[in-house]
Amino acid sequence: MNRDQVKKQFGHTLRDTRFSKLGERYQGKVRDTYAGDELIFLVTTDRISAFDHVLRQTIPFKGQVLNRLAAFQFKRTADIIENHVVSVPDPNVTIARRCDALPVEFVVRGYLAGHAWRTYDSGVHALCGVKLDEGLRENSRLSAPILTPATKADVGHDEDISVDDIVKRGILDRETVDLLTQKSFSLFERGTQIAANNGLILVDTKYEFGRLPGGKLILIDEIHTADSSRYFYSDSYEELLRLDKPQRQLSKEFVRVWLMENGFQGFVGQALPDLDDEFVIDISLRYIELFEKLTGDVFIPDMHPDPEQRIRENMNKPVANWTVGN
């Protein structure tokens, strides 16, 4: 896609949805979730968030990219752990099994970047109870991937937590934590392989899990997307690291950097800046590039002038016509 095609979509993005027949709506930062008796309907909008704030501007095609890429990655990791996907009836919609979401994000890091680097650079050389090597630089590869869990907050910032504290506080039992830790590392290894096969490095990511009636644990939310993960280009990594220069990356981190450069980091009293049109186009094209790099497919967007109406029409089609994507 080119910049003009993205710009033409400015007036046709999906910010909010109202599908009352699907069930009670919960509006997250990016997704509108409708809860039925046994199923949930996840509508991935074009909203974008950073530092736990939803920006005023929407990003053309972002919802389609996230939803389709998550479907792609869920399918390629289903042998590691069962996931919640039932079907994908629309580029922006996933129908999933309803379950109880666990209140912890399992964050796996293979490199010292983003939040981990900012913590390390402040002088704190341990993260979530994991001691980090001395003398590391920003974006250094860690000697082995580490788990840095975070509690999930409905409002405000998620909080780092150690594995031991998850158990001590009674958030999850030791058996569950150990199992999901093992699954998280296996998922990260698979994501690393998929990225490496396509010229990318999976730097860090998060996994969310839920419990079905009966107790079975499954993978939920999204996986290995630009919103949940950070990717570097592998061909330039070593040289840029040697020169202490910023990595070329496909992730949402460059949005956070732009916000910080414009005086916003989510702290009280800071004014949320508006994204200019050219930067919005940049963001959209980066999301599309990541989709194409990881899937090997050309991104062909649905250009319907009214995405909400298109979703309504697709949701009315027979169940047999719903698909699980690539």
CATH number of the 3-100+275-321 domain: 3.30.200.20
Token pair belonging to 41: 């309907």
Architecture of domain 102-242: 2-Layer Sandwich (3.30)
Domain ranges of the chain: 3-100+275-321, 102-242
What is the structure's pLDDT at 155?
52
pLDDT greater than 70 at residue 153:
no
Sign of the C-alpha dihedral computed for residues 108, 111, 115 and 121 taken in this order:
positive
pLDDT tens-digit series, residues 94-139: 999 999 999 999 999 999 998 899 999 999 999 999 999 999 999 9
pLDDT tens-digit series, residues 9-19: 999 999 999 99
What is the structure's pLDDT at 319?
57
pLDDT tens-digit series, residues 217-234: 999 999 999 999 999 999
What mean pLDDT, rounded, does the chain reach?
A: 93
Distance between CA atoms of 131 and 141, rounded to whole angstroms? 15
Within 13 Å and on the Cβ side, how many CA atoms surround 114?
A: 25
What is the structure's pLDDT at 323?
53
pLDDT band, residue 326 (cuts 50/70/90): very low
pLDDT greater than 80 at residue 286:
yes
What is the structure's pLDDT at 325?
43
CB of 30 closer than 8 Å to CB of 227: yes
pLDDT band, residue 320 (cuts 50/70/90): very low
pTM: 0.91
Cβ burial 137-148 (10 Å sphere, 16+ → b, else e): ebbbebeebbbb
